[in-house]
Structure 1
Amino acid sequence: MHKRTLLISVLLVLAAGLFAVYGVETLRMSGGKTRQIAVIMKSGDIRSEFWQTFGEGVKAAAKRFDVNAEIAGPLSESDADGQIKAVNEAIAKKPDAIVLAATDEAKLKPSVDKIKKAGIKLVSVDTASNAGATESVIATDQTEAGKRAGLHLAGQLTANASKAFILKSANGAAEAAEREEGVRAALSGSPQAEYIGTFTSEGTEDRAYETAKLLLASHSDVKGIVCLNEKMTLGAARAIKEKALTGEIKLIGFDSSIYIVKLLEEGVVQATVVQKPFNMGFLSIKSAVQLLSGIKANPKQYVESLVITKDNMYSQQNQQLLFPIVER
């Protein structure tokens, strides 16, 4: 009887301890003044479904953790100067934390240094934003995503050593370099593909179209293209359609929009690698709140990417990724 009483007492003490720890962490997450978090996206363009969906994840997390999240970003992902201006404006408001998806790591480094000098917590999204300065990174494993794109292209090519190239934006974004690395690794390991180079274009659909059109004219034997973002994908698809090469040239893209969905249905795009921007937005705010509460955040959190094709695009899970509910 004495042993049973002692056991119950020990269990009660342990339970009380667990409750105290849980209660303290909960209070640290939600108590005190309302925290201010500035979120600087790569693009604030309402036509960018990726970043608009990311913003919805931010809003959901801000409501869940009772913080104020102010979202900003340049109209174009290639506008590093516009993003630097947005970061400087955010620093001037002295927020508790900044969530930053850097358009160009090298150009944004001085801004990152300013954030750290100001004592503001920094969470990086999509890219590491000079990993030594950031305390938490929320990102897709871009190298793995690139491998998936390259492997899918190789599986679409029927003849051995079919020529293929990569088309990417010229803005120097780190995730593009990581995606390229993954694509090249996949293509180099496949007898179906012969990688002939990576070509860059300015970050608009029109510029991507012009670049792709010139490349297709100078490489008439190309059978495959991997584009590393939505704008490159749309531009290359337009060039393929214009030259009546639908289906003959296999095109693998990145990201999603109603336009890419239509191209999948038409068979112009064979697959697109889709990230989970809502999850990224939510986790970025959660990590910022943890850092502000003195709770160590996961230094690097990867969010899974998926390969969407015409065959699997109608599943419920993939429909939610392709057609997110976004407030306009």
Structure 2
Amino acid sequence: MPNVKRTVATAIAITCLAWSSSPVRAADYVVGLSVATLANPFFQGMTKGVKEGIGAHPNLTLINTSANGDANTQTNQVTDLINQHVAALILNPINANSIVPVVKEANKKGIPVFTLDRGAACGDCQVNFLETDNVELGKEGADFIAAQLKQRYGSIKGNVVDLEGLLGTTAGDEREQGFATEFAALQKDNPDLKLIARQAADFDADKGFNITTQLLAAHSDMDAIFNGNDDNAVGAIRAIRQANRFAPIGSPKHIIIISIDGTEQALSAIRNGQMDGTLSQNPLTMAKQSVAYVEAYLSGDKSKIPAHQFWPHMLLTKANIDSPAAKAYGLWGDEVSQ
């Protein structure tokens, strides 16, 4: 149950803020968090980052919820947080459109909304939208595949599969946009570069496995798979091994695997030579920054909070995964698995 005294104190503080034009000092504010799911390691890392961020600010406490991948559940949970008069919301929307009504309801109640990794499709309804540049991630995924194929064949050619992420989320849509646009541009100058399949695996390892199993049976000449996230890639790798199609990196029969996130499973697969690379985000540091913006807002210091911000990302391969640069960026998958 939420702390009733703090919830009441929060409601009083919000009322006082509305009556006064001068900043009010934050005093034990309750923050509500809603993440899409805890079944995905990335969102486990995000939740860990929010908790650690809250712990660094003694004036903040947290009510933590997970929607278990269901948009209706998330709507109900956020509505409940609003009815508990939380001082602020940090949301990781399952769907950019379905979350809009409750975000607007929070706006009406004077509750600031901060979106993390995935946004809401309502423009300025969010105080801050903090994410990785997902279009750029998709673009870099296409470029990585092109570079590996050129190294293999001497030119950019080969047969490529696109395992899309969860469409309807800003992350899934924008990664696909970045990959598809860049891949089409590469094809203009490299007509032997082929996209042989495009299917949505929904950021789900089992779906990635099932789709890849079917595609391997249909295509004996698959060169590379772009994966919307690491879960897709984990499923694809399992399918490749089960079909006895695994070949080590450097072999002309190796199926190039590139994905996005930087989970512990991806890091292990890269270290073991089963996966070529992941474009790592860092949900731990990103989440802590979101909490810092919440604290600044509630303390009356809003001037340095951007409406939209891209968090840095880093390509990890076997060549650099344990380098000082990678460790400085943060191998969050290793941290969360400990």
TM-score interval for Structure 1 and Structure 2 normalised by the shorter chain: 0.7 to 0.9
Q: Which residue of 1 aligns with 2:272?
A: 266
Q: Which residue of 2 aligns with 1:39?
A: 33
Within a 5 Å distance, the mapping from 1:1-328 to structure 2 comes to 31-45=25-39, 48-66=40-58, 67-75=60-68, 78-130=69-121, 131-157=123-149, 158-159=152-153, 160-190=156-186, 191=190, 193-247=193-247, 248-294=254-300, 295-296=302-303, 297-319=305-327, 320-326=330-336
Letter in 1 for 2:312: E
Q: Distance in 2 between matches of 1:238 and 1:327?
A: 20
Give the CA deviation at 1:170.
4.2
- TM-score (structure 2 length as normaliser): 0.80
CA distances 1:248-293 after superposition (whole Å, capped 9, x unpaired): 2111111233322232133221111110111111111111222223
Give the CA deviation at 1:309.
0.6
Give the CA deviation at 1:172.
1.8
Structure 2: which 5+ runs fail to align?
Answer: 1-21, 248-253
Identity of aligned residues (%): 22
Contact 1:124 1:137 in 2 (8 A): yes
How many pairs does the alignment contain? 297
Q: Distance in 1 between matches of 2:23 and 2:50?
A: 20
Give the CA deviation at 1:193.
3.4
Give the CA deviation at 1:177.
1.2
SS at match of 2:89: strand
Structure 1: which 5+ runs fail to align?
Answer: 1-26
Give the CA deviation at 1:318.
2.5
CA distances 1:36-80 after superposition (whole Å, capped 9, x unpaired): 1111112234xx4322222232223223333112222133xx422
Instruction: From the CA coordinates, give the structure whose radius of gyration is larger.
Output: 1
Contact 1:44 1:72 in 2 (8 A): no
Give the CA deviation at 1:169.
3.5
SS at match of 2:56: helix
Q: Distance in 1 between matches of 2:74 and 2:274?
A: 33
Q: Distance in 2 between matches of 1:284 and 1:71?
A: 15
Q: Which residue of 2 aligns with 1:3?
A: none
Letter in 2 for 1:315: S
Contact 1:42 1:101 in 2 (8 A): yes
Give the CA deviation at 1:218.
2.2
Letter in 2 for 1:265: R
Q: Distance in 2 between matches of 1:312 and 1:32?
A: 43
Q: Distance in 2 between matches of 1:326 and 1:37?
A: 22
Give the CA deviation at 1:109.
1.9
Letter in 2 for 1:325: E
Letter in 1 for 2:297: L
CA distances 1:201-230 after superposition (whole Å, capped 9, x unpaired): 355322221111112222333211111112
Letter in 1 for 2:311: V
Give the CA deviation at 1:236.
0.9
SS at match of 1:226: strand
Root-mean-square deviation (Å): 2.3
SS at match of 2:130: strand
Contact 1:240 1:268 in 2 (8 A): no
